[in-house]
Structure formats: C-alpha cells, structure tokens
Structure 1
Amino acid sequence: MVSAVFHGPATDTVDPGAHANAPRIRQHAPPDERAAPPRMPLARRLGSWAQRALPPVLGLMLLVMLWSIVARGDGIPGPLATWQQAQEVFSDPFYRNGPNDQGVGWNVLASLQRVCIGFGLAALVGIPLGFVIGRFDFLSRMFNPLISLLRPVSPLAWLPIGLLVFKGADPAAIWTIFICSIWPMVINTATGVQRVPQDYMNVARVLNLSEWKIATTILFPSVLPYMLTGVRLAVGTAWLVIVAAEMLTGGVGIGFWVWDEWNNLNVANIIIAIFVIGIVGLVLELALVKLASAFTFEEVKT
C-alpha cells in the first residue's frame, strides 16, 4: 500500500515504442499534398510555349515583309491598306443588295454548300467503289485503266461537260467537284482493301463468312485509315476546284466574288478573298485531321 503512494502517474511511464513512432507520424504529408502532381516551373512553361509559337509567327512576319516590299512598286495594296479594307468588309459580311451584290459571308456559305453536295455524292459513290475494286481482282484490272486515264484530267476540263449536260451553273459546279474529288477516295480505299493481311481473309474463308460480314468486321476497320486519308485529300481538292469553277460559272460564291472584284479593279478585296479561301481550307483540313486522329494511328496527326 505504501509503495503504491510513491508510484508516479501512468502517463509518466516511458514507452520506447511510442517515442520511436512519434517522429514518423509528424513526417507524414497531408493526403492532398501527396496527391498533387509536380508543377512545371513557369519559366519552363513559357519557354515551351515560345518554341511552339515562334516559328509560325516568324513565318507570318516574313510573309508581311515580302508583301510590303512587293506592294511598293506593283500597285498592290500593302498590308495596312488591306487590313483597313478587311475591317470594312467584315463589318457587315451578310448584307444583301441584290443577287449579284452580297457580303463575303453569303459567298463563302454558297461555296461550302456546293462543296458539301459534290463531296458527299463523291463519297457515296467513291468509297463503295473503292471497296469492290480492292476486293475483287477482276474489277481492279477492269477499272485501273479508266482511273489512270481520267484522274489526271484538269478539273476545269469537266466544267463544259457539266454545263452541256445539266444546263445550269450550280449543277455543273457540283458535277466538277464530284468528278475531281472521287478519285482520291476510290484509290485510297482500294489500296487499303488490297493491303489487308491475307491471314484475315483465310480465317474468313475458313469460317465461311458472307461478303457483308467480311466487309463490316474485317475490311472496314482495317481500311478506315486509308479511307480517311482519301477523304482528306478529296475535300482539299473540292475546295480548290470550287473557286476556279465559280469564276467561270458566276452566281454567288467566293470564286465569283474574286472575279467580280477583279472586274471592279478592287485588288484589296481580292487579297482578302485569298486569305478567306486559305483560312476556310485550313479549317476543313484541321477538322478532318482531328477526325482521322480519333480513328487512326498516331502518324496520321503529322
């Protein structure tokens, strides 16, 4: 009983295990600190951004510099005069003052409408045709001479045929887009079908698959990268062709707008139209590259 009086409290007792564990508990970081990813230093991020942005900026500066030099002696409007004219043009791009006097916005939309119709018809015909040409050797040997003969023909050579057959400017322009944009899709799709590994076809033959089953389960996934490459090439060709076709057929369209401004000797608007055509073509190309990257291999992005 007496000895119990002189014993200290239980909390005064030394616990070696407790003292050993205490420093380790204090060294643990909060859960949110452990989960936070390391951040790239600001200077390094700015340097990486500058490396990506500097080359295109220098390229645009070189273009403006050469443009300014050429504009001094040839009567071509310089960058500043063209910029001032562009502000006026784009202040109201959708005005209408009659059938032959419309804003640049309506002209671009009219050209895109013709491109979509002609390109869509070419895809409906060209992609299935490429599948059957690549799938059957007899059809391949039958169509290859025709494609080799017709593909190098200039796009504008088809325009008079369209005017003669369809009796109208719009159908003739759509026909020209169709006949010029169909070849990349036919050729690339047929090439993709012919490059499907023969082992896949042997397995399909062993399993006694139908032609529809072969096309949907074997050919289509393998041919998709080639097909999308053909689509990208075809839409670029279609946008090039429509500008030239509209210069000859007239009506509403970006090509007609260029020719009309030339007749009015408004060179600044012609330069503006050149930039508009390039930007629209670039947007179409980037959209198709994005689509192709979602379905194909990494090298398509380049």
Structure 2
Amino acid sequence: MVSAVFHSPIAAAEGSAIKTEASPANSTGASKLKDAKTATPAWQEQPTPGFDWSGLLLKVLPPIFGIALLIGIWAMVSIGTASSIPSPLETWKQAVVIFSDPFYSKGPNDQGVGWNILFSLKRVAVGFGLAAVVGIPVGFMIGRFEFLSRMFNPLISLLRPVSPLAWLPIGLLVFKGANPAAIWTIFICSIWPMIINTAVGVQRVPQDYMNVARVLNLSEWKIVTKILFPSVLPYMLTGVRLAVGTAWLVIVAAEMLTGGVGIGFWVWDEWNNLNVKNIIIAIFVIGIVGLLLEYALIKLATAFTFEEVKS
C-alpha cells in the first residue's frame, strides 16, 4: 500500500515566507543590493587634482634668486671698484652689440664670437674623440685583465695629476704647430677619466655573470658585447661626461698660449686691449657652452642608464 502526503499551497507559501525572513544570507544580500543602488560612483567621489603651484615655484624661484644674488654682488663690486669692473647693465649692452653680428670676419685675428666658439668646439671634438677611441678600449682591457691593471695603474697615477699646460710644450715640440698642440693637450687630459671609469665599471661587473659566461664557453668578443658593455655603459658615460668638461677647460687655457682663432685666444686678446666687458662676456659664454655640453651628455647617459643608477 502506498501512501502519499499532500501539502496545502497556502501552508507551503507561509513556510517559504518564514524561511526567507529567517535566512541571514538573504537579509545581507538585500542590504548589499540596496547599498549598491544608492552608492556614489568612485570617479565622482575623487576630486580633480589642481595645478601644483608649490612645485613650480620650488623649481623656478631658487634659480632666479641665485641669478639675482650674482647680479647684485656684481653690481656692488662694480660700484666699489669705481667702475673698473663694468656694471651688469653696461656688459649687457655690449653683449647685445657683440651677438648682433657673431660671425663677422675681418682678418685672421679679428673674428666674431661665433667663429671663436666654433673653432674651439672643433678642437675639443677632435681631441675628445681621439681620447674616446683610445681611452675606452684601454679601460676595458685594464679592467678585464689583472696583469694589465697592475702594469698601468702606476703610470696612470703618475701622469693623471700633471697640469694640462705642462703638456702643451711637448705638443709644440712634437707637432710643430699650435693647432695640433692644442688638440694633443685636450687628448692627453681627457683620456684619464675615460680609462679610469671604464676600468672601474668592468671590475664591478658581478662575478656570477662571468661564471655563467665561462660555463657557456662564450668567446671573448661575446663576453665584451653581451655582458661587459651593457654593464659598463653607465660608468663609461660618466667618464665621457667628466672628460668633456675637462676638455672644455683645457682648450681655453691652451688657446690663450697658442693664439689663433678660439674662445681662449679671444679672452687673451681682449685683455691685451683692456676690454674688460668682452672678457666678462667671454666668461659667461664659456660657462654656458660648457653647461650645454654637460647637459647634453647627462641626457645621453640617462637614456642608456638603468633606473637604479639614475637615482
């Protein structure tokens, strides 16, 4: 005999309602749904950030104050020396006259400031380029092989502190000309930062890299191009940046002694003419050109430098 139990529809509906009211999960879900409907979107809650005026002022005001301080001291020195040192305003007026026609030519010893800068940059480029061609490979070899490091370290320590002008007579004696002597002086004074920084970079390559290269039986060329060069590049570019600053300093001193067209000769020639305004202008020109050279190399080094080295 089979028995069946029938439930009333009214009772079933009442039981379902009781279960729904008693269930905490359903209660929580309903409250979450209600909160979601009434919540404000996240993009509406976040205020739009305004322009960072404090950061801009922090970048702009200190350089302006520094330049104003320099001009103020310059003006006081001009007043204190009874105008033996020209004032900033007088020097500015003279600079406007000079740069109105920077590329005039009135003979071999009377050239515009533009030609003087270009001739000096040409000498720096030749001497600096030769120093890079020789110094960077020598630095790699000194850093790579301990025997060469021990052999060259005493020579570098002996020759590096020698004053640039001490090399100039040697260049005049060997090359029999002022222009190659100036290039020689730039070369011999620019080569040391490249050698030292490149060698230090090679020596600081992690030993694990070299062990892996030895296990893989890599050739010396692949070790240099695949392992050493990417690791040494930040150090090498630092040496290049230091070397170009040294080269620009040296060319001014060398041209004062050798003569011809160049920014150093222009300074010396204006001194012989007792034209102090042009000397001050030349000082600013030398500083600005050196600053631009260093800034360009810093940007180049930043582009090829790892993030941890940049910081």
Q: Which interval holds the TM-score relative to the shorter structure?
A: 0.7 to 0.9
Q: Deviations over 1:145-176 (max 9, x none)?
A: 00000000000000000000001111000000
Residue number in structure 2 paired with 1:66: 73
CA distance in 1, matches of 2:238, 2:207: 22
Residue number in structure 2 paired with 1:269: 278
Residue number in structure 1 paired with 2:61: 54
Distance 1:241 1:39, change over 3 A: farther
Distance 1:86 1:282, change over 3 A: same
CA distance in 1, matches of 2:176, 2:100: 37
In the alignment of these two chains, the number of paired residues is 274
**Percent of paired sites with the same residue:** 78
Q: Deviations over 1:31-89 (max 9, x none)?
A: xxx7xx975424xx333211111111111011001101111132100100000100000
Is 1:193 aligned with 2:202?
yes
Residue number in structure 2 paired with 1:258: 267
When normalised by structure 1's length, the TM-score is 0.86
CA distance in 1, matches of 2:200, 2:154: 15
CA distance in 2, matches of 1:133, 1:272: 43
When normalised by structure 2's length, the TM-score is 0.84
CA distance in 1, matches of 2:292, 2:155: 33
Stretches of structure 2 that go unaligned for 5 or more consecutive residues are 1-32
Q: Deviations over 1:14-44 (max 9, x none)?
A: xxxxxx9xxx7xx989xxxx7xx975424xx
SS in 2 for 1:72: helix
**AA paired with 2:75?**
S
| Pick aligned residue for 2:111 from 79, 96, 102 | 102
The Cα shift of 1:297 comes to 3.2
CA distance in 2, matches of 1:301, 1:95: 43
| Pick aligned residue for 2:216 from 186, 207, 211 | 207
Asked if structure 2 preserves the Cα contact closer than 8 Å seen for 1:181 and 1:234, the reply is yes
Where does structure 1 differ by over 6 angstroms across 4 or more consecutive aligned residues? Answer: none
The Cα shift of 1:218 comes to 0.5
Distance 1:292 1:248, change over 3 A: same
CA distance in 1, matches of 2:160, 2:117: 27
The Cα shift of 1:123 comes to 0.2
When Rg is computed on C-alpha atoms for both structures, the one with the higher figure is 2
Distance 1:252 1:233, change over 3 A: same
Residue number in structure 1 paired with 2:234: 225
CA distance in 2, matches of 1:38, 1:175: 63
Equivalent residues in 2 for 1:29-44, closer than 5 Å:
40-42=49-51
CA distance in 2, matches of 1:220, 1:297: 13
Asked if structure 2 preserves the Cα contact closer than 8 Å seen for 1:292 and 1:300, the reply is no
CA distance in 1, matches of 2:269, 2:308: 42
Asked if structure 2 preserves the Cα contact closer than 8 Å seen for 1:196 and 1:223, the reply is yes
Equivalent residues in 2 for 1:102-121, closer than 5 Å:
102-121=111-130
Distance 1:286 1:81, change over 3 A: same
The Cα shift of 1:206 comes to 1.1
Residue number in structure 2 paired with 1:179: 188
The Cα shift of 1:183 comes to 0.1
The Cα shift of 1:203 comes to 1.0
The Cα shift of 1:295 comes to 1.0
CA distance in 2, matches of 1:183, 1:259: 28
**AA paired with 1:41?**
G
Stretches of structure 1 that go unaligned for 5 or more consecutive residues are 1-19
Q: Deviations over 1:100-157 (max 9, x none)?
A: 1010000000000000000000000000000000000000000000000000000000
